[in-house]
Amino acid sequence: MVELLSKVHLTSHPICLRIRGHSVYEDENQRTWLHLVMDLEGDLQVRLWQNDIPSGYIALSTSPLTSSTMPSMWTLHLGSQYLDSKGRFWRIVHHVKVDDLEEIVLELIDNSQDM
């Protein structure tokens, strides 16, 4: 028997995501998020997965690549997009929870790349 996945679109987003280590962000509720950067035909997207990682397993230093390409923080702005620590705006493409896996996809807004 095939088990159906439960998929829910979420409208309550993390208020703040701060870098905690290499490829790891933490929200205001101390939940950890792993990220993957994707370049889709010139559109820069970041996929974040909520994954509880014990603090002892998070390396507190960031790699030079992560610190130069990724912002140190995202802050929810007007409820529908994020403002990053580099002054760029990101729209929320989707925020879903499939069974126990929560995922947010952010896309860099074109006119904010030159900031």
Q: Give the chain's domains with CATH numbers.
A: 7-112 (2.40.15.10)
User: CA-CA distance, 100 to 1, in Å (whole number)?
Assistant: 20
Mean per-residue pLDDT over the chain, rounded: 83
Question: Given this model, what pLDDT does residue 112 score?
Answer: 57
Question: Given this model, what pLDDT does residue 99 score?
Answer: 87
Percent of the chain with pLDDT over 70: 80
Mean pLDDT of 9-34: 92
**pLDDT tens column, 55-107:** 655 555 444 444 457 899 999 998 889 999 999 999 999 999 998 899 999 99
Question: How buried is 24 (Cβ within 10 angstroms: 0-12 exposed, 13-18 middle, 19+ buried)?
Answer: buried
Question: Given this model, what pLDDT does residue 65 score?
Answer: 43
Mean pLDDT of 47-61: 72
Question: Given this model, what pLDDT does residue 57 score?
Answer: 58
Question: Given this model, what pLDDT does residue 46 score?
Answer: 94
